[in-house]
Amino acid sequence: MHMVRIAVAGASGYAGGEVLRLLLAHPDVEIGALTAGGSAGTTLGEHQPHLLPLADRVLLDTTPETLAGHDVVFLALPHGHSAALAARLGDETVVVDCGADHRLTDPAAWERWYGGEHAGSWPYGLPELPGARDALRGTRRVAVPGCYPTAISLALFPALAAGLAEPSVVVTAVTGTSGAGRSLKPHLLGAEVMGSLSAYGVGGGHRHTPEIVQNLSGVAGRTVDVSFTPVLAPLPRGILASCSARTSASVDEVREVYAKAYADEPFVHLLPEGVWPTTAATLGANTVHLQATVDPDAGRLIVVAAIDNLTKGTAGAAVQCMNLALGLPETAGLPLTGVAP
Amino acid sequence: MHMVRIAVAGASGYAGGEVLRLLLAHPDVEIGALTAGGSAGTTLGEHQPHLLPLADRVLLDTTPETLAGHDVVFLALPHGHSAALAARLGDETVVVDCGADHRLTDPAAWERWYGGEHAGSWPYGLPELPGARDALRGTRRVAVPGCYPTAISLALFPALAAGLAEPSVVVTAVTGTSGAGRSLKPHLLGAEVMGSLSAYGVGGGHRHTPEIVQNLSGVAGRTVDVSFTPVLAPLPRGILASCSARTSASVDEVREVYAKAYADEPFVHLLPEGVWPTTAATLGANTVHLQATVDPDAGRLIVVAAIDNLTKGTAGAAVQCMNLALGLPETAGLPLTGVAP
Amino acid sequence: MHMVRIAVAGASGYAGGEVLRLLLAHPDVEIGALTAGGSAGTTLGEHQPHLLPLADRVLLDTTPETLAGHDVVFLALPHGHSAALAARLGDETVVVDCGADHRLTDPAAWERWYGGEHAGSWPYGLPELPGARDALRGTRRVAVPGCYPTAISLALFPALAAGLAEPSVVVTAVTGTSGAGRSLKPHLLGAEVMGSLSAYGVGGGHRHTPEIVQNLSGVAGRTVDVSFTPVLAPLPRGILASCSARTSASVDEVREVYAKAYADEPFVHLLPEGVWPTTAATLGANTVHLQATVDPDAGRLIVVAAIDNLTKGTAGAAVQCMNLALGLPETAGLPLTGVAP
Amino acid sequence: MHMVRIAVAGASGYAGGEVLRLLLAHPDVEIGALTAGGSAGTTLGEHQPHLLPLADRVLLDTTPETLAGHDVVFLALPHGHSAALAARLGDETVVVDCGADHRLTDPAAWERWYGGEHAGSWPYGLPELPGARDALRGTRRVAVPGCYPTAISLALFPALAAGLAEPSVVVTAVTGTSGAGRSLKPHLLGAEVMGSLSAYGVGGGHRHTPEIVQNLSGVAGRTVDVSFTPVLAPLPRGILASCSARTSASVDEVREVYAKAYADEPFVHLLPEGVWPTTAATLGANTVHLQATVDPDAGRLIVVAAIDNLTKGTAGAAVQCMNLALGLPETAGLPLTGVAP
């Protein structure tokens, strides 16, 4: 088979860098154009010194012309940019959008949470969600999920799909700071982040909320209420989502449902009973580690999921979907082992 | 007034060290015997190099004899040791127990969660809880609350007391590693902790759960179900508790109740609307920063509280209660300002 | 005595915030105007939530008018701003400049390292340096030292003054990220800093080098060559300076010289033989912890000093010098104990 | 070619875990016996949850019998254990010792620094050192270098070999905490490590010193004095070594020598002029990033090198040497890209 030629728009950011890190180890891929916004004209090495084999590559402007002529184009851009670019790239190109533009199916939800005109939805890049994998095979367009919705949807859908949990869920998800990207904001400075924990977007303020609602309502067959509180913690990567809902099921019923749901999934790992996930075990890997239990005193199901927000939460999912779109083995180029300690 | 002469049992640990740090700045206190277990015979400086003025003090064995003759004795020991020591110290001594032995009023709860015989309960050292302050004035015995129960009880009691929240609460609280003390366990090693988030004691497994239930049920006047998930994060100090419950109240009603509950409290600070707490702002301070809101989509009250687990969560509360027990100004020696960044 | 009324210019930054944290605990000080640049008009609480008692203070513009009428004005500004402001404040005001403008005595050195016209030098705010304390008593102007020069000068001057070390020193100093201030630069983002170590300003590129040369050459009575490499590490505060020079002295001679040099210094602590400093022991304290030894195989003296860059390295020194300038006890308001763990 | 069957002794530790992480991605390797000390009988997943594909493997006792029958045996054990084991494994087995037993060629140095009888020296596993690669091709025994000696030797040997630096070097190397292994010592607890910097083994006290002396003296053709100060910093992985020596060479001469020395080395990367290394760029990679300059004021050469102490500093070197011993491509299974941010 010929090598798949890819381009990355937004190569100087965290998501773009992680796409490249994974693709450098992908057996079937050849790395073409790397583009950026304000950093065009500089070398990749100035922004991503860890990507040694690409250090001397010069970043081009992000335009339909520089991105043309590739089999796959990864877009790692702020929201609002992908629809116009994709339209210019043509249907023969696989466009994998790491941004939010095409995740929501409901134009009203888009308008409420992001504002502006809805660009339409693309096949949703979470293959483990019921029905999603089939829609991704052979597709030319992929909407890569948000990092929080990935962890939270995988933590909760099996119980909701099986009717084991009430459709009202409470989630507190703790995350490292790379999820906010490379934006220069005071609260993301190292001196602010280290030694501190902070909540943000509380009370329905985070834009990932409607995406979580969409995913969980889809599998539950009814509207699921989602109370979502994100917490920023002092680490570069990682999401630990603590998810709960009222249940009358037993631990055994719950674990059986999860074991069955993920039995054939290469990247989702239900830990042995009594073992709880750590994000370090997923660092740099495309894996989801999870555990589920029931608190009989509180009458609640509790599921904790750990992912690397940049790998399974963004770039790993993007590559996984590219594999599905192109008919490659779904796991090609995707690490199952984390980097720890 | 004469200086209050104090002793600290467990001076080589984190809680004991923090008690000493605060008391070194207390205007009315003179530091007497410092005792330890296995470290007896060494100097305090070997264990607590930050306590420079006490660096040359030699640690004594923890016995009734070494602790005798002080006005106040702080016990920072593993659970199970305080009842026998306190009995030997006599009623003229104020005994402030930083451990768990006398927190629970229900012997059955003690037996279920800790095992062994219940040593009885002492006045509970959370002055901000309704009724608690009066019981602490002039007392000779204090049970200092656990760090999680402090943050969570203060986050939730005003809403429960006012009937604004259903008596079924969900809490995920993220903490630094000093809460586990100086115990040598593999999962507390720096290389394991840094760069990782992990859940533990999930599903009703943490011993602070019955203490939270006791506090909240007491103010609610009925049993409150508590679903509590603690998360370990890479920082030395700090607890950020994300707490929620179903509500039909509005944000304004909720904020009014909290503003009123804490109007006269010197250490509890309701942040301006829209501002969410960070643990860094409480580092080394005896303060609680909190914020409350309502998520109308999810129909839930959400309250986030930040404390320093070693200060307001342990040693600061111990000193605050000593002040009440002795009739000193409640705020004496207790910092309102954190150390940031 | 009447309360000393102070103003802080640059109150929204790290240095200004630390000055305020210390002054809130100073028994003789009353806090007046707080000023800022772009943040004027906002409250201090938006920038420094840890300074709870000042949270509602509104930041004023930094002008001679807003700063007038105070006994002491602390300037925590980028370099180049203090001379003009100080001229407008008049000689009756004590001006304590936390910036670099008046540290260097040699106009040529100023021009080489900072550029622009030299504003002249003020009494140098490192009282522990031979001769410095006398110049600070009663002064109306203070040039607070840089954080690195504080740690390194105190680590090396006793040996150089005693002729125990050759006048050619090699220093690698590791620092937390608050030393760079609150500037929004990509390499200071939390995601970049955590999990990484990096060198910068290597090979004579750091502006603190001429200040170190000036201090050490002054005590040695001859030019001292200084090779200085700063390293950025993932922590908010702290400098650990590893300093060495050729020597033929013995460990005992060296330790005797250091013990004597610092015998009467309240803030400089020579650790017991064999114990090496940690920055955590100095967190938030105005202390310097140091240790000295001789490596006989390499023929070198090695001195390691730990400070908190924001306290003894900046704001603590500023307050210490204010105390000297006003004839207050030198240690007033300055903590000897760190916040650990 | 048939798959190389390997065993790892010490699979529950950090070095053993990293060997396995790399070998899981090695195209020519099949993983056989995994052994441990006290953890024998447990599964690997309990200790190394990031090594998902091996999670269910049960750890065996470390004995000649369990290790027999493999093509390559990696020893990741405390020093003192490898000679006896290797003798029992026979000459047909490649034994790669990640410990210190066979690194030093001088029995007197061994006795001084480690004590006990010298077990003899094995080919030294730093292929980039002059002469070392040839000795490693086809060898049955490898002594993997220490992590500090790797970084420091590669930073300094080109200048010393070219006569551009005086044979008296000063090194301060900052490291993450995984270098100390998984040993349960109070100063390695997360709460102690985070937010702190500390020096240790200062003044010729670190056991890696004689190994550095051996390497540098070998290439210089005369005894090189080494002043080595290690510093512990709050990160899991990474060494940043700041190395200097007197020189009269120019920057251009120095950079030319380094460029030439590493022109054909796949893992050693001299950064573009003016760019300084960060350890994050090497995280999980077998790479060395370095930069060299001359400080004309101080008359010193300064070289800074960054590595991942567990990869190029230990396990990556072990795999690189296995490749040489077996005649495989030297770079097989070894990542060139780090995991950042």
Q: For the residues C260-274, what does the mean pLDDT come to?
A: 97
Q: B53 to chain C: which residues are within 8 Å by CB?
A: 336-337
Q: For the residues C48-72, what does the mean pLDDT come to?
A: 97
Mean pLDDT, chain B, integer: 96
Are B192 and A298 inside 8 Å of each other by CB?
Answer: no
- Point out the residues of C that are catalytic: 147
Give residue C1's pLDDT: 58
Q: D46 to chain A: which residues are within 8 Å by CB?
A: 275
Rg for chain D (alpha carbons), in Å? 19
Q: B166 CB contacts (<8 Å, ≥6 apart)?
A: B245, B246, B247
Mutation target among C185, C194, C309, C310 for the A interface, most CBs of A within 10 A? C194
Residue from B62, B104, B103 nearest B84 by CA: B62
Under the banding of pLDDT at 50, 70 and 90, the label for residue C205 is confident
Is the pLDDT confidence value at A185 over 80? yes
Q: Which of A14, A191, A195 sits opposite C191 (nearest CB)?
A: A14
Is residue A271 less than 8 Å (CB to CB) from chain B? no
Residue D239 DSSP code = E
Is the pLDDT confidence value at C140 over 80? yes
Q: A133 CB contacts (<8 Å, ≥6 apart)?
A: A127, A324
Give residue B1's pLDDT: 58
Q: Which of A182, A192, A237 sits opposite C186 (nearest CB)?
A: A182
Mean pLDDT, chain A, integer: 96
Interface of D with A in 312-331 (CB under 8 A): none
Phi, psi of B320, rounded to the nearest 5 degrees = -60, -40
Is residue A340 less than 8 Å (CB to CB) from chain D? yes
Give residue D83's pLDDT: 87
Give residue A225's pLDDT: 97
Q: Are strands C300-307 and C239-246 parallel, antiparallel or unpaired?
A: antiparallel
Chain C: closest CA distance from residue A238 (Å):
11
- Count the helices and strands in chain B (H runs, E runs): 10, 13
Query: Apex CA D196: angle with CA D191 and CA D198, to 5°?
Result: 115
The residue behind tokens 């207050």 is C328
Q: D191 CB contacts (<8 Å, ≥6 apart)?
A: B14, B176, B177, B178, B180, B182, B188, B236, B237, C341
Count interface pairs B-C at CB distance under 8 A. 99
Q: Which of D52, D236, D337 sits opposite A21 (nearest CB)?
A: D337
How do residues B236-276 score in pLDDT, each as one tens digit?
Answer: 999 999 999 999 999 999 999 999 999 999 999 999 999 99
Is residue D53 less than 8 Å (CB to CB) from chain A? yes
Is residue A175 less than 8 Å (CB to CB) from chain D? no
Separation of alpha carbons C228 and C219, rounded Å: 18
Which residue positions in chain D have pLDDT lower than 70? 1
Is the pLDDT confidence value at A323 over 70? yes
Mutation target among B290, B291, B295, B308 for the A interface, most CBs of A within 10 A? B295
The active-site residue, picked from A98, A147, A243, A321, is A147
Is residue C310 less than 8 Å (CB to CB) from chain A? no
Mutation target among C112, C113, C156, C170 for the D interface, most CBs of D within 10 A? C170
Query: ipTM of this predicted complex?
Result: 0.96
Give the CB-side neighbour count of residue A298, counting CA atoms within 13 A. Answer: 28
Give residue B2's pLDDT: 84
The residue behind tokens 């740090």 is B21
Separation of alpha carbons D276 and C269, rounded Å: 34
Chain C, nearest residue to D194 by Cα:
C235
Are C340 and B49 inside 8 Å of each other by CB?
Answer: yes
Is the pLDDT confidence value at C172 over 90? yes
Distance of CA C279 to the CA centre of its chain: 15
Give residue A112's pLDDT: 94
Is residue D300 less than 8 Å (CB to CB) from chain C? yes
How do residues A217-246 score in pLDDT, each as one tens digit?
Answer: 999 999 999 999 999 999 999 999 999 999
pTM of the model: 0.97
How do residues B293-325 score in pLDDT, each as one tens digit?
Answer: 999 999 999 999 999 999 999 999 999 999 999
Give residue A205's pLDDT: 85
Continuous segment of H or E residues that includes residue A226: strand A225-232
The residue behind tokens 């330790």 is C255
Separation of alpha carbons B241 and B147, rounded Å: 11
Is the pLDDT confidence value at C305 over 80? yes
Give residue C203's pLDDT: 85
Chain C: closest CA distance from residue A72 (Å):
28
Interface of C with D in 191-210 (CB under 8 A): 191-192, 194-200, 202-204, 209
Residue B313, both tokens: 């969560």
How do residues B100-131 score in pLDDT, each as one tens digit?
Answer: 999 999 999 999 999 989 999 999 999 999 99
Are A50 and D282 inside 8 Å of each other by CB?
Answer: yes
Burial track A220-254 (b if 16+ CB lie within 10 A, e otherwise): beeebbbbbbbbbbbbbbbbbbbbbbbbebebebb
Burial track C211-225 (b if 16+ CB lie within 10 A, e otherwise): bbbbbbbbbbeeebb
- Contact partners for chain D, using 3 or more CB pairs closer than 8 A, are A, B, C
How do residues A96-151 score in pLDDT, each as one tens digit?
Answer: 999 999 999 999 999 999 998 999 999 999 999 999 999 999 999 999 999 999 99
Is residue C186 less than 8 Å (CB to CB) from chain A? yes
Tell me if B29 sits within 8 A of B4, measured CB to CB: yes
Q: A54 CB contacts (<8 Å, ≥6 apart)?
A: A20, A24, A31, A34, A44, A45, A48
Q: Which of B198, B204, B283 sits opposite A298 (nearest CB)?
A: B204
Separation of alpha carbons C241 and D197, rounded Å: 10
Residue B174, both tokens: 């993220």
Chain A: closest CA distance from residue B170 (Å):
7
Is residue B229 less than 8 Å (CB to CB) from chain A? yes
Give residue A79's pLDDT: 87
Q: State yes or no: is A147 an active-site residue.
A: yes
Residue from C112, C108, C110, C59 nearest C80 by CA: C110
CA distances from A25 to A341, D95, D336, D339 (A): 22, 29, 10, 12
